[in-house]
Amino acid sequence: MLRRKTSYFLLVNILIIIGFALLLHFWHQIEFTLNNAAAVVPKEEHEIPVLFFILRDISSLTFVAILGIVMKSTEQITRMQSRQKELENDMVEAELKNLKNQINPHFLLNTLNNIYALSCMNSDKTSESIMELSELLRYMLYENEKTFVPLRDEAKFLSNYIDLMKLRMTDNVTVTSTIRISETSNTEIAPLILISLIENAFKHGVSNDEPSFIEIELEENEEGIVHFLCRNSFFPKSEADRSGSGIGLQQVQKRLDLLYLHRYIWQRYVENKIYYTELIINPL
């Protein structure tokens, strides 16, 4: 049956059931004859047909066979489901690792571009930004391999990144960040899940000619719900400057679906030339 040879399986079982039913009948006949060999047994007027006993034995044996098939099938289905779950977990883990590998180069490229811009301006902030990058790289190397990290560590990483980005901002750009995470918080979150949202704000929320602003808020409530909100002025990129556009946000969407399916709300919209990104995650 498990090898999909249904016809062969049914034929063999039917033959075995009929064979055992006949053997049982003949065994009872022989046993009855031996036990009553010396006795005179009167013939009943309404003797029960032999076929009745054979059909009775066939019914009993069929029930036992069906019960065995059900038990074996249940065991096989359970084993297959367990194996399928293992494969799904392996696939999710492999896909998450692949997504992380895609995020890292994207993040590093943006950060190195910032440092390059500072060096071109011969800024005294260049050495400071290199130290900031070193701290960010340390976090990425040692924490990014984990599926989840403490929320307070991720908040510190984001704060360092924002400070690094502020080094190259001009006076017409206002950047504010508010992070309210308890030092004793035990909440964990997927590493680098929020960095792409902040990168997107700096990419599309800053103009060289017009006043710009970026407001970032990250907090955790008493129930452990993580709330991230980012508001920024919106200056859409031209078609000629859309290389890599949306890559980071696509990775965020995939990782959220893999890690927090049905446990997150992500809203993005533009209103009065202001871009809003709000992400609520229930890590529990």
- Inside any domain, residue 144: yes
Q: Which pTM does this prediction carry?
A: 0.61
Question: Final residue of a domain: which of 44, 64, 82?
Answer: 82
- Regions in the chain scoring below 70 on pLDDT: 36-48, 87, 89-108, 110-111, 114, 118, 121-125, 143-144, 238-247
| Domain shared by 74 and 98, yes or no | no
Pairing of strands 274-281, 264-271: antiparallel
| Domain shared by 67 and 163, yes or no | no
| Domain shared by 126 and 258, yes or no | yes
Q: How many CA atoms lie within 13 A of 1 on its CB side?
A: 12
Question: Final residue of a domain: which of 82, 114, 133?
Answer: 82
- Inside any domain, residue 1: no
| Domain shared by 263 and 144, yes or no | yes
* CA geometry: angle 201, 214, 136, nearest 5 deg: 65
| Domain shared by 149 and 48, yes or no | no
Q: Where are the beta strands (DSSP E) in the chain?
A: 149-150, 173-180, 188-189, 212-220, 226-233, 264-271, 274-281
| Domain shared by 144 and 167, yes or no | yes
Kind plus residue range of the DSSP H or E element containing 17: helix 6-35
- Inside any domain, residue 87: no
Pairing of strands 173-180, 226-233: unpaired
Cα 138 from Cα 52, distance rounded (Å): 83
Residue found under tokens 């990104």:
277
Pairing of strands 173-180, 212-220: parallel
Q: How far is CA 222 from CA 152, 180, 188, 227, in A?
A: 15, 12, 14, 12
Question: Final residue of a domain: which of 34, 62, 82?
Answer: 82
Identify the pLDDT of residue 266: 96
Identify the pLDDT of residue 105: 61
Domain total for the chain?
2
For 134, the domain range is 92-281
| Domain shared by 176 and 240, yes or no | yes
CATH number of the domain bearing residue 113 = 3.30.565.10
Identify the pLDDT of residue 54: 80
Identify the pLDDT of residue 236: 80
Contact criterion met (CB below 8 Å) for 214 and 202 = yes
- Inside any domain, residue 207: yes
